[in-house]
Each structure stands twice: as structure tokens, then as C-alpha cells.
Amino acid sequence: METQRHEIAVMIRAHHDTSGIVRILGVDRHTVHRRKIGEIDPEAAYNAFKENPEMTMTEFAEKNSVARTTVSNAV
């Protein structure tokens, strides 16, 4: 699952459209759309920072392909 999320993020950064990503990776379009709009689970973000307090919001945002402000709003 983590590999698939990474592949989706890479394809989004390469400017593939949603239908192309769905066709190539064989994932549900909602999965791609969630990654595109940058939704993150606030609890997952909280747990990530709890496990690794040295990690910055910018690092977390880059790892999850979202804006830093999205992370700060979620936490």
C-alpha cells in the first residue's frame, strides 16, 4: 500500500491526470483524488510526529505530497 501511495504521488508530480493514473496503476479513482487534493489523516500526522519528534512539518509534507500548511492545519 505504501508503495502504491508513493507511485501515485510520483505520477501526480509528473503531471499525469487522474484517469491516466487509474489506468496505469489499476487503483480506484477516489484513491488518486484523495492524494491529489492533499487530504491527510490528522491522527496519522499526530502519530508520525509523536514517533519522530525530530521530523519537521516540511519533511512530513514532502513525504506525503501535501502542502506544509495542510499539515499544520491537521495537527
pLDDT tens figures, 37-52: 666 778 888 888 899 9
- Residues with Cβ within 8 Å of residue 5, at least 6 apart in sequence: 35
pLDDT of residue 64: 79
pLDDT of residue 35: 67
Give me the chain's average pLDDT, please: 83
Q: Given a cut of 70, is residue 60 above it in pLDDT?
A: yes
Average pLDDT estimate for 10-17:
84
Q: Domain residues of the chain, as ranges?
A: 1-37, 41-75
Please state the φ and ψ torsions of residue 29, each to the nearest 5 degrees. Answer: -65, -30
